[in-house]
Amino acid sequence: MLVCRICKNTANNRIHPAREMMFGTRDKFNYLECGECGTVQIADVPDLAPYYPANYLSFDSNVPVAATLRRRIGARIAGRYLVSGKGVLGKFVAGKRPTLVELYPSYLRNYPLGIDLDSRILDLGCGVGNLLQTLHYYGFRNLTGADAFIEEDIFYPSGVRIYKRRLDEIETSFDLIMLHHSFEHFPDPIESLRQIHRLMEKDSFLLIRIPLINYAWEKYGVNWVQLDAPRHLFLFTEKSFRYLADQANLKVENVTYDSNAFQFWGSEQYVRNIPLSDPESLWNNPGSKLFAAGQMDEWQDEAEKLNARGKGDMACFYLRKV
């Protein structure tokens, strides 16, 4: 019997055969779509090690801002303003340097998280810690990362600490815990949320950015680029993610949709049988001629319209303890 591992439903569940297309091995994996909560989940979790090769982290799309921006002092002053909205000088510097504002993570500004530059921040599934290095650049001082898949602990001169650690091995609590497109890789989502709950205090925030079952799944099915077989184990709907959070005594305070043109161009490539890592792929080759001029702008506009309607294929959830 086909059982949804999120809501236990057994009725009207469907199996979709999908292929590995990031590296283009085209190995086949079945995904189950729940007829009740809509979660799409891998039917059997395979040995995933071969699907995280050494170059996997180079697929990390975070921009290493620390390496590209030079004027550190300005960033610090602007950072104080960006995190709190306070400070005349910071406001002035931010006004003079729009790139500083653009590169500051919007999900930290879109919702009041009550954090300051001393807040204890954990990035779970942080890879080598590019985002934390970026936050350090803006003046955050208490930054920790954890990732079970890195080679070894990393201690940056900036003070950013990255531990090779599983969730259940982390013991201290944090003011803000963030998961940026890592939650969908966790084999036991409910247990993971319970473990995260353990690391939160009364006023702590949890920020989870994940792909979501939405318009792009309806349009592209198994060619949807964010299915990412077999690495993405669970693809939630907004409804099923809320249900899951509830099971872990967490409440969703806000949801912001943040999908972009990737849902279109990545999926269109898969329809054409072109892996993400293909030399012809837009991922490697920004000058690729795969798509007509202007197409990318149209897709970006379409993504923004989908986001406004709660139909984009990625969202940021803001959660607190019940």
CB of 320 to Zn ion, least distance (A): 24
Alpha carbons within 13 A on the beta-carbon side of 11: 1
Q: By CB under 5 A, which span of 7-15, 41-49, 273-281, 313-321 interacts with Zn ion?
A: 7-15
The two structure tokens encoding residue 1: 């019997």
Report the site for Zn ion in 9-38 (rule: CB under 5 A): 9, 34, 36-37
Q: By CB under 5 A, which span of 8-16, 19-27, 56-64, 123-131 interacts with Zn ion?
A: 8-16
CB of 174 to Zn ion, least distance (A): 30
Pick the closer one to Zn ion by CB: 24 or 35: 35
> How is 60-101 classified by DSSP, letter by letter?
-----HHHH---HHHHHHHHHHHHHS--HHHHHHHHH-HHHH
Alpha carbons 155 and 159: distance in angstroms, whole number: 7
Report the site for Zn ion in 37-96 (rule: CB under 5 A): 37, 39
The site that binds Zn ion (CB under 5 A) totals a number of residues, namely 8
Report if residue 4 touches Zn ion, rule: CB under 5 A: yes
The two structure tokens encoding residue 160: 């950013």
Alpha carbons 314 and 312: distance in angstroms, whole number: 6
Report if residue 6 touches Zn ion, rule: CB under 5 A: yes
Helix (H) or strand (E) holding 213: none
Report if residue 274 touches Zn ion, rule: CB under 5 A: no
Integer CA distances (angstroms), 93 to 67, 178, 209, 283, in order:
20, 27, 29, 33
CB of 285 to Zn ion, least distance (A): 39
Pick the closer one to Zn ion by CB: 240 or 259: 240
Q: Which of 7, 250, 274, 303 binds Zn ion (CB under 5 A)?
A: 7
Integer CA distances (angstroms), 76 to 65, 69, 92, 95, 139, in order:
13, 12, 13, 14, 5
Q: Which residues bind Zn ion (CB under 5 A)?
A: 4, 6-7, 9, 34, 36-37, 39
